[in-house]
Amino acid sequence: MRANRNKRILFTDLDGTLLNDKKQISAGNQTAIDEALAQGHAIVISTGRSLPSALMLAERLGFSGEGRYIIAWNGAQIYDLYHEKTIYSSTLPRSLARPLFDAAAARKIHIQTYDSTHVLSEHDNQMLRDYEHFTGHHYRIVTDIECALPEDPYKMLAIRYDSHEDLEAFQRDVLSAYSDTISSFFSSDTYLEIVPKGVSKGSAIRWMCNYMGIPLENSVAAGDAQNDISMLEAAHIGAVMHNAFPGVAEHGNYVTEADNNHDGLAEIIRKFILR
């Protein structure tokens, strides 16, 4: 595709970035987004959430129409909201579900995966219920995870509230044995993301810019958490939110003056996107 050198593209994380602490888009952020789209720029939601969860949120926020996309599952699926179709996908082998679920259970770590409609787990617990409340993505308890999966999943998620060190040990001692198939990284102290090898928000940025014919130097990424680091480094401008987790700012080249509760994303759009 011929490069469009006048068009800019913004990749924005959801929680702690586009959304305020009430999980809403502020009026200031919405106005800036509308102005960017009116000028012909592209806006891409880039999230670790599932596509169903991101779509529910996009509908609630009125985030639809031409020039709007969703990067879901930390980059494993890219969805065109205007044409209502998946334009990129990468999945995990479902044969990994049984050994990873068993290893997590032995370490008292909650682990879950997903089919096209539900979060899937073999055990009901508070972490699963909290996840449903937080994302709006309903869960289903199954007796055999591998048999319950109708197709290869986009990701798995390991959760432990009381010990980040146990998640690190799980990543080091268990997941490293599958390094030819999976990538893993933290989206928070309690969430360990497990995705197909090579998948990240950063790889999705490069794919999207190529797909849309937008030069990488016209790209801006906005984020606040560890799973945003790859896209902050991949984009030409890596804009880190004022409220970012410790250690994230060093991976960007701009830090906002405002946080996610005070139109921090609008600050980024006006500084780097709008002409």
36-87 residue pLDDT tens: 999 999 999 999 999 998 998 888 777 888 878 999 999 999 999 999 999 9
Same domain, 174 and 234: no
Measured distance CA(264)–CA(272) in Å, rounded:
13
- Which CATH number characterizes residue 133's domain? 3.30.1240.10
Ramachandran area for residue 108 (φ above 0: left; ψ -120 to 50: alpha; else beta): left
User: For the chain, what is the domain count?
Assistant: 2
Domain-terminating residue out of 196, 218, 244: 196
Identify whether 22 is part of a domain.
yes
| pLDDT-based confidence at residue 244 (cuts at 50, 70, 90) | very high
Same domain, 38 and 116: no
Residue 134's domain comprises 94-196
Domain-terminating residue out of 176, 196, 216: 196
Same domain, 218 and 234: yes
Same domain, 145 and 220: no
Instruction: List the single range of 45-49, 186-190, 257-261 with lowest mean pLDDT.
Output: 186-190
**Are the beta carbons of 241 and 224 closer than 8 angstroms?**
yes
140-182 residue pLDDT tens: 999 999 999 999 999 999 999 999 999 999 999 999 999 999 9
**Are the beta carbons of 45 and 60 closer than 8 angstroms?**
no
Measured distance CA(166)–CA(169) in Å, rounded:
5
Using DSSP, state whether 2 is helix, strand or coil. coil
pTM of the shown model: 0.89
Same domain, 144 and 181: yes
Measured distance CA(188)–CA(205) in Å, rounded:
21
- Which CATH number characterizes residue 53's domain? 3.40.50.1000
Identify whether 71 is part of a domain.
yes
